[in-house]
Amino acid sequence: MLGNFTYCNPTKLYFGEKALENLKDEMGKYGENIMFVYGGGSIKKNGLYDKVMAILNECNKNVTELSGVMPNPTAEKLYEGARLARENDIDLILAVGGGSVCDYSKAVSVSAYCEENPWEKYFLRMEDVSNKTIPVGCILTMVGTGSEMNGGSVITNHEQKLKIGHVFGEEVFPKFSILNPVLTYTLPKYQMVAGFFDIMNHITEQYFSGEDDNTSDYIMEGLMKSLIKSSRAAVKNPEDYEARSNIMWIATWALNTLVAKGKSTDWEVHMIGQAVGAYTDATHGMTLAAVALPYYRYILPYGIQKFKRFAINVWNVNTDGKSDEEIAKEGLSQMEDWMREIGLVMNISELGATDEMIEGIANATFLLDGGYKTLTREEVIKILKESM
């Protein structure tokens, strides 16, 4: 049975090869001071930087550039962005890049006018926004996080060995996002497939919760089947527009809050994966891939009917003569085959984790109660050892 919920998503999307043409109209809605946020030099190499700057100049905007946003944005980088935004009286933060740039821009949005330490207020104490925020717009160049249509933001504090996400309310959602699948073509394969698993895990984190015949589960099964098919096509040909456009659209719907409605949701794979990332600074999607199967195999007995459904409806497992447990396990084996086929990292040791880090990673893992089993610290350690 669906629970009671309210659904609102205020982000306007522009999708397709001509999506960037809409940036000029959006610029007319905001003041003259724009913060242009991006990561490394890829947007300069592929010409996107020049295209965006031409539009901003045509619209007579004063542009403050903030480059160098890393794949796992840090608290120190957050402080830098918040200071720049405040000092330059920024009217709009324009994030151009992947999910990390979008996440970071939302964190800067809520931090620029925060009167206390934003890391402590928003990422340690998880408090609501109580100060002025700055609107955010996104131009996406990598898919996976769904950050272009949600209020999520993940920040890493290396000093404290913590990587924490805060899901802000609709006032922090991007006001608009521009999604052109062609902009994802030049992404290295490693980053591309990491994004694919980030998408898959966003779906399974929400799917593996509850036992009701829930409409959201049917939607998620369709999203997963489309992702599996399109990811295989994209690995063979990264410039397959149909595959890349489907994946971009799946990523958005996987985490724009829709399919979570009426469900408890899990998110323990993310908690473990983010703790691994805090110690290794590894690519987010790969940390999830490395811990997902050990986690799901551990909790399978506690949610066996949903794992059985997953095997049948997503992986088309033949049920003849098999027990529920055998069917459920075969579904996870099929997922493992797909993960290996597209080239994902399957062990945290490949990401730089060592035996000496295990207890610290476990200590940095938040324990949630939305899935089929609430883990203990000792169980997290067991799962991490299986992930090695």
Q: Among 157, 183, 209, give the residue marking a domain's end.
A: 183
Q: Is residue 369 part of a domain?
A: yes
Among 183, 200, 229, where does a domain finish?
183
Which pLDDT value is given to residue 1? 63
Does 6 fall in a domain?
no
Same domain, 202 and 241: yes
**167 and 130 fall within a common domain:** yes
Q: Mean pLDDT throughout 121-127?
A: 96
Same domain, 168 and 267: no
Q: Are residues 195 and 172 in the same domain?
A: no
Assign residue 335 a region: left if phi > 0, alpha if psi is -120 to 50, beta otherwise? alpha
**Structure confidence at residue 232 (pLDDT):** 98
CATH number of the domain that residue 372 is part of: 1.20.1090.10
Please check whether residues 178 and 214 belong to one and the same domain. Answer: no
**In this structure, what are the phi and psi dihedrals at residue 65, rounded to the nearest 5 degrees?**
-90, 140
Mean pLDDT score, 348-361: 97
Question: Residues 163, 242: one domain?
Answer: no
Confidence of residue 5 (pLDDT cuts 50, 70, 90): confident
The DSSP string of 176-209 is: EEEE-GGGGTTS-HHHHHHHHHHHHHHHHHHHSS
Q: What is the pLDDT of residue 40?
A: 85
Give the pLDDT of residue 41.
81
pLDDT at 147 over 90: yes
Give yes or no: residues 314 and 262 share one domain.
yes
112 band by pLDDT with thresholds 50, 70 and 90: very high
Q: What is the number of domains present in the chain?
A: 2
Greatest alpha-carbon span in the chain:
69
pLDDT at residue 211, as a whole number: 78
Coil/strand/helix, residue 341: helix
Which of the listed residues 127, 160, 183 is the one where a domain comes to its end?
A: 183
Confirm whether 2 is domain-assigned: no
179, 197: one domain: no
Confidence at 245, pLDDT banded by 50, 70, 90: very high
How much is the average pLDDT of 306-334?
98
In a domain, 3, yes or no: no
Instruction: Tell me the H-state helices in the chain.
Output: 23-27, 42-45, 48-58, 75-87, 99-111, 118, 189-207, 215-236, 241-254, 268-280, 284-299, 304-313, 324-342, 358-363, 377-387
Same domain, 197 and 113: no
Q: Find where tokens 């935004």 sit.
A: 85
The model carries a pTM of 0.95
Q: State which residues form the domain around 162.
A: 12-183
The pLDDT of residue 193 is above 70: yes
In a domain, 1, yes or no: no
Assess whether 248 and 377 both reside in one domain. yes
Residue 161 has pLDDT above 90, yes or no: yes
Whether the predicted pLDDT of 175 surpasses 70: yes
Q: Mean pLDDT, to the nearest integer, of 34-55?
A: 94
Q: Which residue has the higher pLDDT, 4 or 194?
A: 194
